[in-house]
A and B are shown apart, each in its own frame.
Chain A
Amino acid sequence: MSNSPVTPSGEANDFFLDGLAGTQNPDFQLEPDAAQTALPKTQTELQLPLVNPEQPEPAPQFEFDGMAKPVFTIHIATDTLKPQQVHFRSAKNLLESLEAQNIQVPYQCREGYCGACRCKKISGQVTYIKEPMAWINDDEILPCVSIPTSDLTLKFRG
């Protein structure tokens, strides 16, 4: 094998590695090379996220600064226990909010298909974040897939 450089076949100015030759290219101009003067600011401080997404806080009700958040009052009634009152702030769903406030609700799937958390809605409105698949009567809701849109009165069995 000889060490002679490989000569490209064809014209020498046919092409360049980073574009066409300038003279053949009147339509546009490449930006001139400019030395980079300002280096990006180096981060001197280690910034950790406020919440570790791998380990969410035990209470799922996060506070958001500067954001007006609707707070709904939820009245809880049962056949046996005395009535309680809690608040819905910004939990993922009604079930999590109730659990965070020590209201024990039966649950299983937490996805709206088993119906274990089904309860009676005496007054108020909720919206569903996921279409419930379990059977619910007109006066019932599934807390695991709903969030309140007004103050609520709920009735649990037991």
Chain B
Amino acid sequence: MTYQTFNKKHFDVLKEPMFFGENVNVSRYDQQKYPIFEQLIEKQLSFFWRPEEVDLSSDRGDFAELPEHEKHIFISNLKYQTLLDSVQGRSPNVALLPIVSLPELETWIETWSFSETIHSRSYTHIIRNIIPNPAEVFDDIMNNKQITERAESVSEYYDALIEGVNVYNSFGVGTHTINGETVEVNMHDLKKKLYLTVASVNILEAIRFYVSFACSFAFAERTKMEGNAKVIKLIARDEALHLTGTQHMMQLFAQGKDDPEMAVIAAECKQEVIEMFADAAQQEKDWADYLFKDGSMIGLNKEILSQYVEYITNQRLIAVGFDTIFPNAKSNPLPWMNAWLVSDNVQVAPQESEISSYLVGAIDSEVDTDDFGDFSL
């Protein structure tokens, strides 16, 4: 049962399920059970970007001029995003790699997690730029009750799966006595933990992230904090890909062609997963309460953000094959989000740009009327 970094058994990898089959041995992509994961890898690699490419010089001034309650919204939102990507930068690797059985899926998980680490680094880049002492912001993530509550809800399913897999890898299926405690390991239970984990990751990336994106883009809609919005736009483009990955996993599980037992589990957990979506929506609404506790900002308030939570929750439920749970949220209350999320106007190659960003801080990009003072015609 112990995890093997290079499985010496001979087997046909095309007959393996996505998870809980043989450990992967040769990382080969000439034959693939699900070519979609290879396509996701290629797309993700083509999206590669670095936080330092984005020029944030105008954000510092914008931030200083924001009223206090808007500073609170902006910084809290960034803290939340930092938390989400801290989890996503490591958890898919820790939780899923020990049990994955297909080389293309294994590599997708690694590529996916890696791109999340770029997101984490970009938050430091943003915060460093607008606040003299970034430690204030990062230290508060661990002390702020509102944030730590959220950390609990985004990581509980991961932790349950990791714990289960640890025991399974050490002792295998059966009833074991560990440190005086009786622990029962059965495949059905482990697979259920896996299914719920993938569902909770889908919720994290498809709902929670999008609520935070709405806040970031709301500032940029008023031409404030536009450098930050450029970074978030790049992050949103990556996240769209990641959630497509988890949607594929959930749909493949539900179909049962991959692993018949997973289809049984998906049907069994249907109600539980719908409740997870509903809980997440409620938590996001509570978060909106906290964000706007000292006042709304132009273009976004608690009500509108809550409507957006309901709308996006419905959309994501449909995408994984469930029915909607908010009958009144039929249209998007933030129609301008589409324009921010569209990827065809995200700058891909720096040299083909619109572009403050290519100059990576090499040149002072500020031009003022004073600069033309010594011109005469």
Contact = CB atoms under 8 A, between A and B. Distances in A.
A and B associate:
yes
B50 interface: no
A116 B318 CA distance: 10
Contacts of A133: 36, 39-40, 43, 244
Given A109-B240, A110-B344, A137 B321 contact: yes
B316 to A, nearest CB: 10
Interface stretch (B20-28, B218-226, B330-338, B355-363): B330-338
Interface in B25-74: 36, 39-40, 43
Q: Does more than half of chain B's interface fall in helix, strand or loop, or is it mixed?
A: helix
B315 A116 contact: yes
Interface size classification for chain A: 20 to 34
B153 interface: no
A22 interface: no
Interface residues of B, number: 25
A115 to B, nearest CB: 6
B244 A106 contact: no
Interface in A39-83: 79-80
B7 to A, nearest CB: 29
Contacts, number: 62
Given A111-B344, A115-B244, A133-B40, A106 B338 contact: yes
B342 interface: yes
A108 B39 contact: no
A114 B240 contact: yes
A135 B343 contact: no
A29 B196 CA distance: 83
B247 interface: yes
Contacts of A106: 315, 332, 338
23 contacts: A79-B330, A107-B338, A107-B342, A108-B240, A108-B338, A109-B237, A109-B341, A109-B343, A110-B342, A110-B343, A111-B344, A113-B43, A113-B241, A114-B243, A114-B343, A115-B247, A115-B319, A131-B39, A133-B43, A133-B244, A135-B244, A135-B251, A158-B331
